[in-house]
Chains A and B, each alone.
Chain A
Amino acid sequence: MTTDILRRNNVTVSGAGDRPMLFAHGFGCDQSMWQFVAPEFARDHKVVLYDLTGAGNSDLEAYDRQRYATLDGHADDILAICEALNLKDTILVGHSVSASSSVLAANARPDLFSRLILVSPSPCFLNTGDYRGGFSREELDGLLQVMDENYLGWARQMAPNIAGQAGGGPAADRLTQSFCRTDPDIASHFARVTFLSDHRDDLARLRVPALALHCDDDPIAPMTVAGWLKDNMPAATVSVMQVTGHCPHLVAPEETVREIRRYLDGG
């Protein structure tokens, strides 16, 4: 079972430190999303990376639509990895939708985690009532329909196109193929779970101390979401960075690392 889950989720462990730092990537990518950030922590942490079930180099056969019909399935995976590696006092880092999964895991087993780092979290993408998640129901339905039609043809279409790209050596090929590998049906299912779930109550209930990193110009998680976090997450320190996009760990890795370090050192 232990080796099973490590293989299933393509878990990689590195770093010189003892204190575990577990990174969970978000929708649409794999663990290579952390490549500009994780090495910075490897010198004094035990860095654990993995691919969400259904993404990257995980075992796609293991993607059970019932188990992963809610983020609880992904939260259980986080707990199972902690158990398999006997991780304690862990700093759990989750990006975007995995920030919500991280909160679910920490609410279930607060004893396993010392800190949570939530990168561009969004408990709910949908505008509902007074809450501004950023998207109307019609817009999200449009997205899901496009994915159902497999129009963007992500996944399968990407990989073959690497051939002939200048500067794409063997290393880049390996990276790209892993990075882009997603079964379109799984991507569509995960998109539904990601964009239609509402975990505001779970985030509000969090007791493990957390840092929420927010970009001030994020087309996916607008500033209204950061405002909601400030007002409703007593456990969280909300830090807004002047960064464009939804992936500060990719576009502004130094600043992201600095913010996380400052929080960890201060706490």
Chain B
Amino acid sequence: MADDDRLTGEAAMRELALDLLRDLPCGIAVSDPDGNLSYVNQTLADWLGPGVTDLGGRPQLSSLLTVPGRIFLQTHVMPMLRIQGFAREIACQLLRDGGPPLQVLLNAVLRKDAHGQPVRIDYSIFDASERSIYESQLRRARQEAEELAAIVRSSPNAILRVAGDGSVQAWNAGAEAHFGVGGAEALGRPVEELVALPATPHWFTTRSGAEETAFEARHGNGCEYEVTIAPIDRAAKDGPDYSVIFRDVTDRKNAERHLRLMVREMDHRVKNTLTVVNAIARQTLSSEQNKPFLERLLALTRAHDALTEAHWDVVDLRLLLEMIQAEAGGADRFSFSGPPVTLQPRQMTSLSMIFHELTTNALKYGSLSDGQGRIDTRHFFEGGDRPNRLIFEWVETGGPPVARVPGKSGFGSRMIRLLVQSEFAGAVETEYDAAGLRYRLTLNFPDAAN
């Protein structure tokens, strides 16, 4: 009776153990010491697929692995089993019947008999596909972080991470070189103390904020820096840290200063020259002759003044048209419409001379010569996908009847044509309409970004 109970208990335990073994969520396999498999549990059989579960041919464990795993099994795992009796968490890939390889972690234990002779190897195999995805993401993230870190490390700019309270959290080699303080020494210290900007002692406290900000400042070391302060991770609970970047712009600032000096000097010389030319004309020509000349010279001087004001940078056509409007007597007498047109200094000078001639002519003989008439201009771009041809139309109305003077071309018209051709590779059309003169200028802007 008692024996029967025990037997029943053993049989039940045995059945229970077999059930557990079959359904364990990990693969279990057993092989002889050479790796010839004698048992695989259901989980492992399911992973491998139907083609592999038939163990009639006693497959080798290594035949279930991809080549790298096979090589490692022979060069590492088998030696480990022989020398230390076990191998743990070997990452490898199981070949699957009709599917991509399965990433697994393999554990193995070598069992020995009473005489110390190896008798079998037991394997437990865990599905590591999720872990392997996580690991590859981790590896990628680490690689990206390392690349970024390398960029920061090797940057010639001083790049810092500063906490909201102004203490330095990171300090790259560039910062070390610029400010003469080593990385370890700088950590935790107030950034305004480490980087003193005499003109703005509280530069970090006053400028760090929710938005990125940039400014230029001179450092006690004599260098000038472009400083950018930008919050890192605005959503951080206890306020963001800031990336602070110092770019040495000393050379650029020196170049700018030099350029400003040159421009100022050139302005003086041009003005002096124009004054001298003016004086020569007054002394050389009769007053009747010198009047149109001096007016033209004045137009040139005004164009030059406008350019000086714009620091010899580009100006918009609008500026010129406003000058004519003032000369013509206001918006009642002169109107203009059209898109912005960026003029280089030379184009500006040429156009101002052209407009001076047209305006002078209108004041003398055209629609502005009495109190009635007016001038309306409009301009627009045309020409394909990247319109770079500016059409400028000048329409006079309400003035005295136009008397056409065939065959005669004055100095003004010749100058206009010359300037339009040489500066804009363009053309001028003149229409002697009874209602008033009309001009149509075709001006090419080959580099137009308009």
Contacts and interface: CB of A to CB of B under 8 A. Distances in A.
Interface of A: 26-29, 32-33, 35-36, 96, 135, 139-140, 142-143, 146-147, 149-154, 157-158, 161-162, 165, 167-168, 172, 175-176, 179-180, 217-220, 244-247, 250-251
Interface string B64-85: 0011101111111011101111
Given A36-B82, A161-B88, A220-B71, 4 more contacts: A147-B68, A150-B139, A168-B84, A251-B34
Nearest to A243: B34
B144 interface: no
If over half of B's interface residues share one DSSP class (helix, strand or loop), that class is named, otherwise mixed; here it is: helix
B380 interface: no
Given A152-B92, A161-B89, A29 B75 contact: yes
A165 B35 CA distance: 22
A245 B31 CA distance: 14
A140 to B, nearest CB: 8
Contacts of B82: 36, 247, 250-251
A245 B89 contact: no
Give the interface residue-count category, chain B.
Answer: 20 to 34
A176 B86 CA distance: 10
Contacts of B35: 244-245
Contacts of B85: 167, 172
Contacts of A150: 139
Contacts of B67: 135, 139-140, 142-143
B60 to A, nearest CB: 7
B79 A152 contact: no
Contacts of B34: 217, 244-245, 251
A142 B80 contact: no
A29 B74 contact: no
Contacts of B68: 142-143, 146-147, 152
B116 to A, nearest CB: 12
Contacts of B136: 149
Contacts of A179: 79-80, 83-84
Contacts of A151: 91, 132, 135
Contacts of A33: 79, 83
Given A29-B79, A161-B89, A175 B84 contact: yes
Given A219-B60, A250-B83, A251-B33, A152 B88 contact: no
Contact of A26 (B62, B70, B75): B75
Nearest to A153: B91
Max count, chain A CB within 10 A of own CB: residue among B91, B135, B136: B91
B88 A29 contact: no
A256 to B, nearest CB: 12
Max count, chain B CB within 10 A of own CB: residue among A26, A150, A244: A244
B196 interface: no
B249 interface: no
A251 B84 contact: no
B90 interface: yes
A13 to B, nearest CB: 21
Max count, chain B CB within 10 A of own CB: residue among A149, A152, A153, A172: A152
Nearest to A221: B74
B88 A142 contact: no
A83 B440 CA distance: 98
Interface string B312-349: 00000000000000000000000000000000000000
Contact of B79 (A147, A167, A247): A247
Contacts of A168: 84
B315 to A, nearest CB: 60
Contacts of B91: 151-153
A148 to B, nearest CB: 11
B70 to A, nearest CB: 6
Nearest to A173: B84
Nearest to A29: B79
Contacts of A218: 74
B88 A180 contact: no
A135 B71 CA distance: 10
Given A161-B88, A165-B88, A247 B78 contact: yes
